[in-house]
Amino acid sequence: MRSLFIAGNWKMNPATLEAAVALAEAVKAGVGQATEVRVAVCPPSVFLLAVDAALAGSPIGLGGQNMHWKPDGAYTGELSGAMLNDAGCTHVILGHSERRHGLGETDAQVNAKLQAALGVGLIPIVCIGETREEREAGKTTDVVSTQLRGSLAGISSEQMAGVVLAYEPVWAIGTGLTATPAQAQEVHAFIRGWLASAFDEATASRVVVQYGGSVKPENVTELLGCPDIDGSLVGGASLKASDFLTIIKAAQGVAPSKLA
């Protein structure tokens, strides 16, 4: 049975260690010991150790925003999976569109990182999604299937059960635009069908597929009500504890009917 999963991607925010710890502490206080919805936060790497300490005793997971596929070596500015483990991480975001489109990250690189993350026991959150031009050209499913095929190459059904997917239409990230629930559900259902074809029905039914892209307290309940949407990868709204906690509370309200 899939569980709902809300993850906050803080990106290159906040500006100070003090603010990062305060945000983590506020989220921790709001979540308490509730576990019906999985929650994780993904701060900048320089704050990981301090945020891990702030979250001590909480069920909230800690995630890195990226990692290298090599375990060590001459890779200036990079972090290995083992380093993320040592900093307290349980999760790692891979293939975010800001890295794919802004930094030229390829499906093959995402796949190498995925293999490395699974090898050290991290839960990967693999991001996929189309640009506005690709959607308007009717290429959404082609783009998504290509990204899935390349990013998940060589992954077994058993491994896939421990992978989280995040569908994030590029045109809805940081723009204020959001896919309608119908648009989001259509792509999530396609992803579920692709998983069933590439792996099997049992695997497809187990994989958590989040929606990301301008998720806010105002739209999250309707999005989470869609049958194939299993949570959210939240950007800007995760930087304000009250908004992030409202999103988590909405997920907690939806969880009983989704998991029945």
Q: Which of 68, 130, 168, 188 is catalytic?
A: 168
What residues form DSSP beta bridges with 233? Answer: 7, 212
User: Active site includes 168?
Assistant: yes
Active-site residue, selected from the candidate residues 91, 96, 98, 188:
96
Distance CA 230, CA 183 (A): 15
Let me know: does 177 contact 171? Beta carbons within 8 Å: yes
To the query of whether residue 158 is one of the catalytic residues in this protein, the response is no
* Alpha helices (H) in the chain, listed in sequence order: 17-31, 48-54, 81-86, 97-100, 107-119, 132-136, 140-151, 157-160, 181-198, 201-206, 220-224, 241-258
What is the rounded distance in angstroms from the CA atom of residue 197 to the CA atom of residue 200? 6
For residue 255, the tally of other CB atoms under 10 A from its CB is 16
Q: How far apart are CA 39 and CA 34, in angstroms?
A: 10
So which residues are the catalytic ones? Answer: 96, 168
